Amino acid sequence: MLLTLSAILTDGLVYAAYLFIVAIGLTLIFGVMKILNVTHGSFYAFGAYGAATAVGIYANSNLPAALGFLFMVAFAMAIGLVMGAVLERGILRLVYGRDEVVVVLVTYAVFLILEDVIVLIWGPGSYAAYQPMVAAGNTELGDLVLSNYDLILVALAAALAGLAYWALKYTRYGRLLTTVIFDRETAAAFGINVTLVYTATFIIGAMLGALGGAVMAPKISVTLGIGVEVIVLAFAVVAIGGMGSIEGALIGALVVGICRAAAVHLVPQLELFVIYGVMALVLVVRPYGLFVRAQPRKI
Amino acid sequence: MQSYARIPVALAAIAVASSGPAQAQQPAASALVKLGIVSFLTGPAASPFGIPGRNGAEIVIEALNAGKAPAPFNQVGLGGSKIEAKYVDEAGTVANVVTEFRNLVQRDQVDAVVGYVSSGSCLAVAPVAEELKALTVFYDCGTPRIFEEKPRSYVFRVSPHATMDNVAAARYLVAKKKNLTSFSGINQNYAWGQDSWRDFVGAMKVLAPKVEADKVLFPKLFVGEYGAEVSTLLTSKAQALHTSFYDGDLEAFVYQEQARGLDKRMTMIMTTGEAAIWRLRDKMPEGTIIGGRGANGPLARDTEIKKWFEKIYTDRYNLPPTYPAYQMAQSLLGLKIAYEKAAKDGKPNADAIAAAFKGIEFEGPAGHVKMALGDGHQGITETAYGTYRFNKQKQMPEIVDIIRYPAECVNPPPGVEADKWIADGMKGAKCN
């Protein structure tokens, strides 16, 4: 029983780390820009494909394996940076102020286009990028064997959460961001360059989406359609935590991660249902999620 | 994602065929035969299944149109008429798949449709094919329900259904693991995974009643992250693991379980593993029991037609064909046999081809096909399983220790539903 409990805890943490890394960019963009960004799935997919490309390039060099992970992440995030800038400046700024449904549809259209762009760039075949995970090795914990790469993911998620907390609370840009999240018009009235904040936020969100794809690439087969599943999962996590709340995304990821791991170990028949069951339960009790912000009342 | 392929090439070839003495024995091509080829060209199932299937169609149709296939397939195209193929993407909702099927039949007026990877697509298309009286050959989908639910007139499937894969997997496991006490399973949570597990467990109950099923896992299709599943299996005492995972799910599972040493604790049985060996190479665990949905790829007998197909495919795509490519080739060659049997008095219609298709037998790249089930609409073949190893000297995947199972050993007799046949102890199985 102790073995099962420790397995549920570690598996839950690993899955939560994955969920948080893929959801943080989505919730950040929603919090600031009030856009449910379906293109986030494309950022994830491009990040994964970019990482696979980077791993392929790096594998042919004689550089130490440990640096391969950093190269892969940097390469993917650079792709996210370029994509974020191009999409925000090239498309999204043209639809600011339109109905939220229109903006969602625009991001969905871009997502579909980018799926075909992936085929144009990388073709229909799948890619492997397992080398960083193999290089990381594993750790034995009694009967349980843990992948060190998974432990790195947990550490990365914790670092991202800490960094986001610090940046929002203790940096000038973070305070500006918090102001825009609270109320865009008031922020603009106080002289904050909201347009610049939007652009910066979207780029950071895109880089985080690409980061999610990059760190998952060694664990999966990088293939067409990987962004679709991520969008649904990330949306569930963000809805549980509260749209736009980073601490909500963290708690949402932990709740879903632990519940899913418990279901797989104890009642595997519920695995398919558990994520959306938790989401439905939370939304019945708190329709705006666990960590929804107080909304200013405008007169 | 749709294109009429090689019309100019086909027209040029017609001109050559009508003037060259080497082609003099071929009847004049009176008209083109239009085929709709449906397969996943995008989405997660494209890379492992859809694209090899599509490539198999392209290369075989080219060879048939050029009259370069070996006998008895050496007549140009189908009955002397060149084949014009229209390739359609299977991706999308089932409703979309049915709409595209109707478009092929009603708008494009194809003579036959050959295609479909997903069992969901096949189940949805079959009744529409019957309604439209459109000749349809399923090439890859595995559900046995197509011809068990009701008799079909215009639908055929040359490739055997999935029951064979899991019965043969159970036979191989029992033959090779004498001290087996328990096994676990991880299969995708939809019809394919559930049916595969049901057939495998049923066959194990018949073949080794004292061996118990331990952990039974059904993760969501394309979930990608298997940390909890691997932990669950690490805490299992099972000595074998059955999986019908395919494509990205199979590869992701292998990467993740290898990082945690699961394959060192239990033998993997992969019913579709053959489609992944050329990609996974040394990442595929040594000792894995490999199936290929029939005697396809390295499991195929080394016949002339197999060597021909392997060569033309490898020359074009720089990779050996995997089982979806074989299944497509077998399906097209079966259609050719039926078409030419029906074409004695000119271009046959769907009724004539369907009548000719029933119960045919022929030799294809994956062996002898007998349209024995579903009132002559469902093919059976022998199958084979083997054990994987990566030859480090040749840097090539290998399947060794192959055991072949005759078609009648691993398929239900005509008129008997697959699950009932297994539940009743696989009576009438002829295994030599």
Site from B41, B216, B231 to mutate, A interface, most A CB atoms within 10 angstroms = B231
Residues in chain A closer than 8 A to B229 (CB atoms): 264
Statement: residue B428 has pLDDT above 50? yes
ipTM (interface predicted TM): 0.86
What does the alpha-carbon distance between residue B116 and residue B90 come to, in Å, rounded to a whole number?
7
User: Which of A219, A223, A225 shows the shortest C-beta gap to B256?
Assistant: A219
User: In the structure, what pLDDT confidence band is assigned to residue A225 with cuts at 50, 70 and 90?
Assistant: confident
Nearest chain A residue to B223 by CA: give it: A229
> Do the Cβ atoms of A7 and B235 come within 8 Å?
yes
The closest of A98, A106, A100 to A42, measured between CA atoms, is A106
CA–CA gap between residue B26 and residue B65 (Å, rounded): 11
Do B231 and A144 make contact, defined as CB atoms within 8 angstroms?
A: yes
From B240, B231, B180, B248, select the one nearest B210 (Cα to Cα): B180
Query: Is the confidence at residue B338, as pLDDT, over 80?
Result: yes
pLDDT at B369 over 50: yes
Check residue A293 and give its pLDDT.
Answer: 65
What is the mean pLDDT of the segment spanning B91-104? 94
CA distance B199 to B271: 12
Q: Which residue has the higher pLDDT, B143 or B375?
A: B375
> Do residues A240 and A49 make contact, with C-beta atoms less than 8 angstroms apart?
no
**Cβ of B228 and A229 within 8 Å?**
no
Q: Which of B248, B151, B144, B252 is nearest to B198 (CA)?
A: B144
Residue A224 contacts B where some CB pair is shorter than 8 Å: yes
Residue-wise pLDDT for B25-71, tens only, equals: 344 445 899 999 999 988 778 888 899 999 999 999 999 999 999 99
Residue pair B369/B159 in contact (Cβ under 8 Å)? The answer is no
**Cα separations in angstroms, A17 against A48, A151, A242, B186, B234:** 17, 9, 18, 23, 21
Query: Above 60 in pLDDT, residue B2?
Result: no
**Residue in B224, B260, B279 closest to A147 by CB:** B260
Q: Which of A172, A168, A219 minimizes the C-alpha distance to A52?
A: A219
Q: How far is CA A102 from CA A54, A115, B245, B288, in A?
A: 36, 20, 39, 51
Of B41, B217, B248, the CB nearest to A268: B217
Residue B218 has its nearest CB partner, among A125, A265, A271, at A271
> Mutation test of the interface with chain B: which of A1, A5, A264, choosing the one with the most B Cβ atoms within 10 A?
A264
Residue B385 CA to residue B292 CA, distance in Å, equals: 8
Name the residue among A11, A149, A218 with its Cβ closest to that of B228. A11
Residues 6+ apart with CB under 8 A from A296: A182, A183, A186
Q: Do A138 and B260 touch (CB under 8 A)?
A: yes
Residue type, A62: N
Distance from CA of B229 to the nearest CA of A (A): 7
State residue A294's pLDDT score: 63
pLDDT, chain A, mean: 91
B228·A7 Cβ contact <8 A: yes
Inter-chain touch B232–A272, beta carbons under 8 Å: no
> What is the mean predicted confidence (pLDDT) over B320-324?
95
Of A134, A216, A220, the CB nearest to B259: A134
Q: Mean pLDDT, to the nearest integer, of B421-431?
A: 94
Number of Cα atoms under 13 Å in the Cβ half of residue B297: 27
The residues in A 136-175 lying below 8 A from B, measured between CB atoms, are 136, 138, 143-147, 149-150
Q: Is A11 on the interface with B (CB under 8 A)?
A: yes
Two structure tokens written together for A291? 């960590």
What is the pLDDT of chain B when averaged over all its residues? 90
How confident is the model at residue B331, as a pLDDT? 98
Q: What is the pLDDT of residue A299?
A: 66
Has residue B11 got a pLDDT over 70? no
Percent of chain A with pLDDT over 90: 65
Note whether B401 and B427 are within 8 A (CB): no
Length of chain B: 432
- Rounded to an integer, what distance in angstroms lies between the CA atom of residue B88 and that of residue B107? 14
User: SS3 sequence, chain A?
Assistant: CHHHHHHHHHHHHHHHHHHHHHHHHHHHHHHHHCCCCCCHHHHHHHHHHHHHHHHHHHHCCCCCHHHHHHHHHHHHHHHHHHHHHHHHHHCHHHCCCCCHHHHHHHHHHHHHHHHHHHHHHHCCCCEECCHHHHHHCEEEECCEEEEHHHHHHHHHHHHHHHHHHHHHHHCHHHHHHHHHHHCHHHHHHCCCCHHHHHHHHHHHHHHHHHHHHHHHHHHCEECCCHHHHHHHHHHHHHHHHCCCCHHHHHHHHHHHHHHHHHHHHHCHHHHHHHHHHHHHHHHHHCCCCCCCCCCCCCC
List the 246-285 stretch of A: residues with Cβ below 8 A of B: 260-261, 264-265, 268-269, 271-272
Helix/strand/coil (H/E/C) assignment for every residue in chain B: CCEEECHHHHHHHHHHHHHCHHHCCCCCCCCCEEEEEEECCCCCCHHHHHHHHHHHHHHHHHHHHCCCCCCCCCCCCECCECEEEEEEECCCCHHHHHHHHHHHHHHCCCCEEEECCCHHHHHHHHHHHHHHCCCEEECCCCCCHHHHCCCCCCEEECCCCCHHHHHHHHHHHHHHCCCCCEEEEECCCCHHHHHHHHHHHHHHHHHCCCCEEEEEECCCCCCCCCHHHHHHHHCCCCCEEEECCCHHHHHHHHHHHHHCCHHHCCEEEECCHHHHHHHHHHHCCCCCEEECCCCCHHHCCCCHHHHHHHHHHHHHHCCCCCHHHHHHHHHHHHHHHHHHHHHHHCCCCHHHHHHHHCCCEEEECCEEEEEEEHHHCEEECCEEEEEEEEECCCCEEEEEEEEEECHHHHCCCCCCCHHHHHHCCCCCCCCC
Q: Are B49 and B324 in contact (CB under 8 A)?
A: yes
* Residue B358, min C-alpha distance to chain A (Å): 36
Q: Kindly report, residue by residue over B269-317, the tens digit of the pLDDT.
A: 999 999 999 889 999 999 999 999 999 999 999 999 999 999 999 999 9
Most confident by average pLDDT, A3-12, B95-104, B136-145: B95-104
pLDDT in tens, A57-82: 988 887 877 788 899 999 999 999 99
Does the CB of A131 have a partner CB in chain B at under 8 Å? no
Instruction: Identify the pLDDT of residue B1.
Output: 36
Is residue A39's pLDDT more than 80?
A: yes
What number of other Cβ atoms are within 10 A of residue B280's Cβ? 22
> For A217, which residue in chain B has the nearest alpha carbon?
B252
The residue that leads in pLDDT, B375 or A273, is: B375
Which two structure tokens, joined as six digits, stand for A129?
Answer: 């990028």
* Percent of residues, chain B, with pLDDT higher than 70: 93
Going from the C-alpha of B274 to that of each of A98, B12, B245, B270, B284, the distances in angstroms are: 51, 38, 12, 8, 10
Interface of B with A (CB under 8 A): 41-44, 46-48, 50-51, 189, 215-220, 222-225, 227-229, 231-232, 234-235, 247-252, 255-256, 258-262, 279, 283
- Decide if A89 contacts A186 (C-beta within 8 A): no
Query: Among A144, A149, A265, whose Cβ lies nearest the Cβ of B259?
Result: A149
Q: CA nearest B49 in A: which residue?
A: A125
- Which residue in B178, B168, B174 sits closest to B199, CA to CA? B168
pTM of the model: 0.85
How many A×B Cβ pairs under 8 Å?
137
**What pLDDT score does B25 carry?**
39
Judged on CB neighbours under 10 Å (0-12, 13-18, 19+), A267 is: exposed
Q: For the residues B204-231, what does the mean pLDDT come to?
A: 93
Question: Which of A48-52, B186-190, B211-215, B361-365 shows the lowest per-residue confidence on average (mean pLDDT)?
Answer: B186-190
CB contact under 8 A, B47 and A7: no
CA closest to A125 among chain B residues: B47
Say what the pLDDT of residue B224 is.
82
